Chain A
Amino acid sequence: MKAQRIISRPSVFGWPILIGVLGVGGIVVGLLGEGVLDWLCWAGTGIALIPVGRVLSRRSSGRSETRDKG
């Protein structure tokens, strides 16, 4: 029997890659100095929490999250 091939869109990783790159950049940049670099560090490290906050705020405002593409 021929194995079923599941094709995933490259866009699945679009946002995660952006968040990951900014996250690593933020974590690293904080070690290089203070002042503006600290702010960049906090922004980069904290960016991962934005989508979580968005989901939580949507949930509290009662909007449905289900948007299946299939």
Chain B
Amino acid sequence: MKSGTIRAWHVVHKWTSLVCTVFLLMLCITGLPLIFHDEIDALAEGEPRVPAMATDTPLRSYDDMVTTAMRLNPGERPLFMSFYEDIPAVNVTTAKSAQPGDGEYTITAIDLRTAEPIGSSDEVGTVGMIMEVILRLHVDLFADLPGKLFLGFMGFLFLIATISGVVLYAPFMRKLDFATVRHDRSAQTRWLDWHNLLGIVTLAWVSIVGLTGVINTLSDPMFDFWRANQLAELIAPYKDLDPVPVEQFGSVHKALETARAAAPGTQPQFVAFPGTRFSSEHHFAVWMRGGTAATAELLTPALIDTKTGELTAMRTMPWYMLALRLSQPFHFGDYAGLPLKILWALLDIAAIIILWSGLKLWLGKRKERNSAARVSTQVLA
């Protein structure tokens, strides 16, 4: 590689890193507790617990769950129903409007055998609130879509910094063995060696988490694009009809049975009620996920006419929605138990050290340059 080319890559690496480092540090630091949010939530708030009952206790209708949620939250409307995998319970989300803002909704956990509540998002404690603040900082800096897009752009710069870092790794390491840290040299050299070592060994993880993070920041525009194109096509026959009022919503239980029958081998992930972002004004959208570990992340919405209970349409998600869906587990590292979460945390700490060492290297060079300039000024004077 020509020295001029190396200098050019160095400029790219320096400036893309400098611009994004502070934000990436914030993302890595806030990301650390978020890796363990399930464990933290369970420790702080406790998982919803269902009372012990005979294993063959029959389950009540899903409509009863909606009735319970509406009784507990008068004046609100049902938005979503989601399902626990390990306990016979559902979460019903309700709010005053179909598309509420952050925090303007209630999630009620309800026992499927008794239709009695077993927990509510109103009961969130201090730890839950702290986690919520950390999550908002990590996701959008409390600035909704502009915040997400800004962080996405920072992530994009970070990816360029990563690529340029790999390009620069070769000339820097050409005289050194792999994984060399020169402890007997200056602090600046040691930081450089650690920066190079951690940067190159975590390259795969950093690239995957960075890229999927960028994709996640585009979730809102991608979802709106899907709604405007694919969903609009599916519900075209309904476009001139008035929205269905809440009182006329049909049976969600029947909608679930219809969706299950239409997609054997799949499980419902959640139901979006009419009017929400994940459905139309006239349908229950039952989002079915694959029944195997490999297909569990692939969602297929089944649109059920809320009045007739009949299946209107069912279509697999387009590639960009699949990419979005797959980018979530690859970003969170929550798909292979606690050991993977611990590894995710260690790699996250490595990323923090990479960012910090990069900053230290830049500050060190600046200091050196300034003192050299001072010396030459004194000599000339």
> Which A residues are within 8 Å of any B CB, using their own CB?
3-9, 12-16, 19-21, 23-24, 27, 30-34, 37-38, 41-42, 45-46, 48-49, 51-52, 54-55, 59, 64-70
Contact = CB atoms under 8 A, between A and B. Distances in A.
Given A6-B1, A30-B335, A66-B184, A51 B171 contact: no
A18 to B, nearest CB: 10
B340 interface: yes
Contacts of B175: 68-70
A49 B180 contact: no
Contacts of A64: 183-184
Interface stretch (B63-71, B193-201, B364-372): B193-201
Interface size class of B (residues with CB under 8 A): 35 or more
Contacts of B183: 59, 64-66
Interface of B: 1-4, 6, 169-171, 173-185, 193, 197-198, 200-205, 208, 292-294, 297, 326, 329-330, 335-337, 339-340, 343-344, 346-347, 350
A6 B3 contact: yes
A52 to B, nearest CB: 6
Contact of B294 (A32, A54, A70): A32
A67 B175 CA distance: 9
B346 A16 contact: no
B335 A52 contact: no
Contacts of A51: 178-179, 197, 201
Contacts of B181: 55, 59, 65
A8 B178 contact: no
A3 B105 CA distance: 64
Of residues A16, A49, A55, A64, which shows the largest number of chain B Cβ atoms within 10 Å of its Cβ?
A16
B202 A12 contact: no
Contacts of B344: 45
Contact of A54 (B176, B179, B335): B179
A21 B351 CA distance: 19
A31 B329 CA distance: 8
Contact of B180 (A6, A31, A38, A65): A65
Contacts of A6: 1-3, 6, 171, 174
A58 to B, nearest CB: 8
A39 to B, nearest CB: 9
B172 to A, nearest CB: 9
A16 B170 CA distance: 11
A45 B155 CA distance: 21
Nearest 5 CB-CB pairs, A to B?
A23-B204, A8-B170, A30-B336, A70-B175, A51-B179
Given A45-B340, A55-B181, A33 B3 contact: no
29 contacts: A3-B4, A5-B3, A6-B3, A8-B1, A12-B169, A12-B170, A12-B174, A13-B169, A14-B178, A16-B200, A16-B203, A23-B204, A27-B205, A30-B340, A31-B329, A33-B294, A38-B336, A41-B340, A45-B347, A48-B204, A48-B350, A51-B197, A52-B197, A52-B350, A65-B184, A66-B183, A67-B177, A68-B175, A69-B176
